[in-house]
Structure 1
Amino acid sequence: MKVGIGYCNEEDVFLSGMKAARGALEEAGTRNPVLAFAFCSGGLDAEVFFKGLQSTLGENIPIVGGSAIGIITNSNISYKGYPAAVAVIDDPSLRAECFSVGNLDADERAAGRKLSRKLNSTRLGKLIFLLYDSLKTHATADSPPILNSSARLLQGISEELKKHLPILGAGLIGDYTFSPTKQFCGFFTGEQTIIALVLDGHFTCYHRIMHGCSPLDGVYHIITKVKDDVIFEIDGKPAADVIDELYGNPGWRNEHPVKLLTIGINCKDKFGEFHEGNYVNRLITGVMPDGKSIGIFEPDLEEGIEFQFMLRDGQMMIESARKNSKRLVEELKSREKTPLFALYIDCAGRTAEFSQTLTEEAAEVQKTCNEHGVPLLGFYSGVEIAPLLGRSRGLDWTGVLIIWAR
């Protein structure tokens, strides 16, 4: 397998696409790749960037990706300016088929079912790499954004898909203001689109999930009133008032999303020893216009659910990235596998600037890949998707590292 990564940070968007593609082809040592992954900052016109890529790669190679807050490669971690990157892959055994469905914002579950019907028409491979538009409605001065639901999307897919396959991927966002995004759907660009890339060939994909939250105080709370992605009451009190009490002041109400606090669902023993892999966290998008309720990233929490408030722990986040990236490579070695390509899907809330850490947690993944000579492409996302506790889920505040190996 030949893999090359090309990176560019220039305002001239068409030229950026051309330069990134040329750099990737040169590094891979090929002129005929069979697949490309590409991502670009929301500050760039994604459609023009896509055309710049095609001008160099040609129009017969599927390009999968889209908008991202920032880019991670073996030598770059950037979310300033106009970062963009592309990975090209050339392997005679690789089979990559791309499928897409639009109108995601109309009904995520229906879109997922429609996508599965398309997938059922082909020979399904080893896994599905899934990307979708995170944003349903952009944020305003008075209210947080409304996001497309990964939970409903994945539910729709599972209801129709004839073969159980691991699904890994991301919900795409282009900036912290939740501006509209673009998706690269193989041979064209789209909005409000789902892309499913079915992968098969002489390789195996392994993954690890990086976490970074710990319980605030261990106290369990109950959601007593919720509708979709809005929590109205916690423990019978207005949700925003409960958070005011935790902070001791209303300053958090100016944050979209809330920077320090998340909602954590413990999927295992309620009073067992804390283990980060047992939790599914939900980011709080902010206080709603009524001043009493709060928005969350996913509309998958129901009345009666018990949860804990979780603190985003910068040091724990960095340690998790270090530990899990090393363990993944060690697992490959124990299986006598050679790592060929790494794809890192990293929550945009994990940047050093947003997390207020001195170093980038993605640098730990970068370091591990560089130590073992693994080509790395990563991007900052809105939602991460990976198998966790028995099924593929939409995740928040995580990093998902996928390594292709043979």
Structure 2
Amino acid sequence: MTATISTGYAAGIDVAATVARCREQLPGPADLILAFVGGKHDPEAALAALRASFGDIPLAGGSAAGAIAGGGTGVGTGGFGYSGLEIGIIAFSGPDVTPKILTNRDLLESEEAAGQALGRAVRAQAAPGSAVLILFDSVAASAPLRLHPASRIMAGFHAALDGLPLHVIGGGLLTDINLSDGWMFDGHAIAKHAMTALVFPPGLHAATAILHGCRPVSSFFEITRVEGAEVLELDGQPALTVIERTLGLELGTTSGQQLSLVATLGQKQGDPFAPFDENNYVNRLILQADPARGSITLFEPDFSIGTRVQIMSRDNALMLESVTQGIADLEAGLHGECAFGLYIDCAGRASVMTGAETEEADLVLRTLKPGFPFIGFYSGVEIAPFAGDYSRPLDWTGVLTVFQRTA
């Protein structure tokens, strides 16, 4: 049986017609479909449309703030968008390329315990060095907004691996850029508060580049008071006051959304006095601010008392430079046959959020120019290998992975 990987991409109000247009771009039947469905489409209607087009085969993926697809061999028309009407599909056929789907539906009870359960399942299925794609429902609750922290998921996941080396990438699924909701396919049905791991066959080797775009605009501050993801004090002062003063904003007038558009908190890895290198930073987006408490709430609760951080400016020019340089570095290391590419792109990098004149996803498509199937989606959180075999959640990044066939 010939192993094939192919992609389809389309956008439209009618979900059945949009899925059908994607199906027309694929060369034949599939053993597994990974689909990213714009959040304006009804999930049950999307599931019915996918079943009508592809039959009763395993389904992974779910809602996405938008989708991205590249041109090239085996790819449809290509394009990108985040209107909520886009659908991107990647189809796998043949045991040499088709991943196994493993599912956990317990995020609401405990993200760390769910991560451990999924990690144990992956450890039982994966060979050393295997590529694994983790997808999870980002939104735990919408009123008030609460996210499923990827840092807790990954802490549990890696604990359960017990040292098994894997190449793990992933992302959080959203219905839109405003973090309104999220849902996913768990292999067969629609699920909330769930996560899946796609374990790829050993014959597919993954290479990943992390595309950044923030630079420090402050010296180091020490977190002196924190409650979960809510940072209350930096150097003994209200965190919101410190950030607004550093950025030159008028105190008390800045909403969390405005702050999230211009700044992050960054933790520098390694030597704190080493020259600036964006690849040494783990940045955390600001989810909301509370002027009454003088606090900010981050996307992840993994900073603690004593953590040294810097205020980071989201830099559009650096973001685009990082795309160009990151792709060049990745391509320089590719030596085998490229099977397909996957791009997990923070929804906050869309120009509607950054104000950049150039769409970052468009630059990725124009710079990479793959002659292989390429698909991507706009995410809430990105997961990528950061140090050795440990993969951790990142904010305001693009995670670009190319899968190559090995002999």
**Mapped partners of 1:113, 1:201: distance in 2:** 23
Deviation at 1:120, TM superposition (A): 3.8
Structure 1 outlier segments of 4+, above 4 Å:
none
Deviation larger for 305-314 or 106-115: 106-115
Partner of 1:160: 160
Instruction: Report if the CA contact (8 A) 1:223-1:305 is conserved.
Output: yes
Instruction: Report if the CA contact (8 A) 1:341-1:403 is conserved.
Output: yes
Inter-CA distance 195–81: structure 2 relative to 1 (3 Å threshold): closer
Deviation at 1:261, TM superposition (A): 0.5
**Mapped partners of 1:34, 1:221: distance in 2:** 51
Partner of 1:35: 32
Partner of 2:142: 138
Deviations 1:22-72 (A, max 9, x none): 32x2xxx222x2332210111111232122112111112x22111111111
Deviation larger for 33-42 or 292-301: 33-42
Instruction: Report if the CA contact (8 A) 1:102-1:194 is conserved.
Output: yes
Residue of structure 2 aligned with 1:329, choices 325, 328, 331: 331
Instruction: Report if the CA contact (8 A) 2:131-2:205 is conserved.
Output: no
Partner of 2:341: 342
Deviation at 1:256, TM superposition (A): 6.2
Partner of 1:306: 308
Inter-CA distance 49–289: structure 2 relative to 1 (3 Å threshold): farther
Inter-CA distance 266–18: structure 2 relative to 1 (3 Å threshold): same
Q: Does 1:87 align with 2:87?
A: no
Instruction: Report if the CA contact (8 A) 1:347-1:396 is conserved.
Output: yes
Q: Which amino acid aligns with 1:355?
A: T
Deviation larger for 71-80 or 9-18: 9-18
| Residue segments in structure 2 that go unaligned for 5+ positions in a row | 71-77
**Mapped partners of 1:115, 1:50: distance in 2:** 24
SS in 1 for 2:261: coil
Partner of 2:9: 7
**Mapped partners of 1:257, 1:156: distance in 2:** 30
Deviation at 1:242, TM superposition (A): 1.6
Correspondence 1:85-124 to 2 at 5 A: 85-124=88-127
Partner of 1:295: 297
Deviations 1:322-379 (A, max 9, x none): 11112212211xx3x1222110000011111111100111122212342x41221111
**Mapped partners of 1:257, 1:188: distance in 2:** 37
Inter-CA distance 36–280: structure 2 relative to 1 (3 Å threshold): same
Q: Which amino acid aligns with 1:389?
A: A
Partner of 2:74: none
Deviation at 1:201, TM superposition (A): 4.1
**Mapped partners of 1:279, 1:222: distance in 2:** 16
Alpha-carbon RMSD across the aligned residues, in angstroms, is: 1.8
Residue of structure 1 aligned with 2:319, choices 314, 317, 320: 317
Deviation at 1:389, TM superposition (A): 1.9
Partner of 1:234: 234
Q: Which amino acid aligns with 2:201?
A: D
Q: Does 1:68 align with 2:64?
A: yes
Instruction: Report if the CA contact (8 A) 2:240-2:291 is conserved.
Output: no
SS in 2 for 1:258: helix
SS in 1 for 2:47: helix
**Mapped partners of 1:327, 1:47: distance in 2:** 41
Deviations 1:5-33 (A, max 9, x none): 2122111223322332332x2xxx222x2
Inter-CA distance 173–256: structure 2 relative to 1 (3 Å threshold): farther
Partner of 1:373: 371
Q: Does 1:59 align with 2:56?
A: yes
Deviation larger for 87-96 or 343-352: 87-96
SS in 1 for 2:254: helix
Instruction: Report if the CA contact (8 A) 2:256-2:296 is conserved.
Output: no
SS in 1 for 2:348: helix
**Mapped partners of 2:278, 2:258: distance in 1:** 24
**Mapped partners of 1:225, 1:264: distance in 2:** 17
Instruction: Report if the CA contact (8 A) 2:65-2:84 is conserved.
Output: no
Instruction: Report if the CA contact (8 A) 2:167-2:206 is conserved.
Output: no
Deviation at 1:2, TM superposition (A): 2.7
Q: Which amino acid aligns with 1:263?
A: L
Residue of structure 1 aligned with 2:381, choices 369, 372, 383: 383
Deviation larger for 294-303 or 2-11: 2-11
Q: Which amino acid aligns with 1:326?
A: A
Deviations 1:235-265 (A, max 9, x none): 1111122223233314432526610000000
Partner of 2:358: 359
Percent identical residues: 34
**Mapped partners of 1:153, 1:5: distance in 2:** 29
**Mapped partners of 2:191, 2:19: distance in 1:** 17
Deviations 1:127-157 (A, max 9, x none): 22101111122255xxxx3211111111111
Deviations 1:291-327 (A, max 9, x none): 4211000000000111100000101101111111122
Partner of 1:245: 245
TM-score, structure 2 as length reference: 0.91
SS in 1 for 2:333: helix
Instruction: Report if the CA contact (8 A) 1:132-1:194 is conserved.
Output: yes
Inter-CA distance 384–367: structure 2 relative to 1 (3 Å threshold): same
**Mapped partners of 2:123, 2:257: distance in 1:** 43
SS in 2 for 1:105: coil
SS in 2 for 1:200: coil
**Mapped partners of 1:385, 1:268: distance in 2:** 20
Query: How many corresponding residue pairs?
Result: 391
**Mapped partners of 2:21, 2:258: distance in 1:** 35
TM-score, structure 1 as length reference: 0.91
Q: Which amino acid aligns with 1:300?
A: D
**Mapped partners of 1:58, 1:106: distance in 2:** 33
Deviation larger for 359-368 or 9-18: 9-18
SS in 1 for 2:133: strand
SS in 2 for 1:287: strand
Partner of 1:174: 175
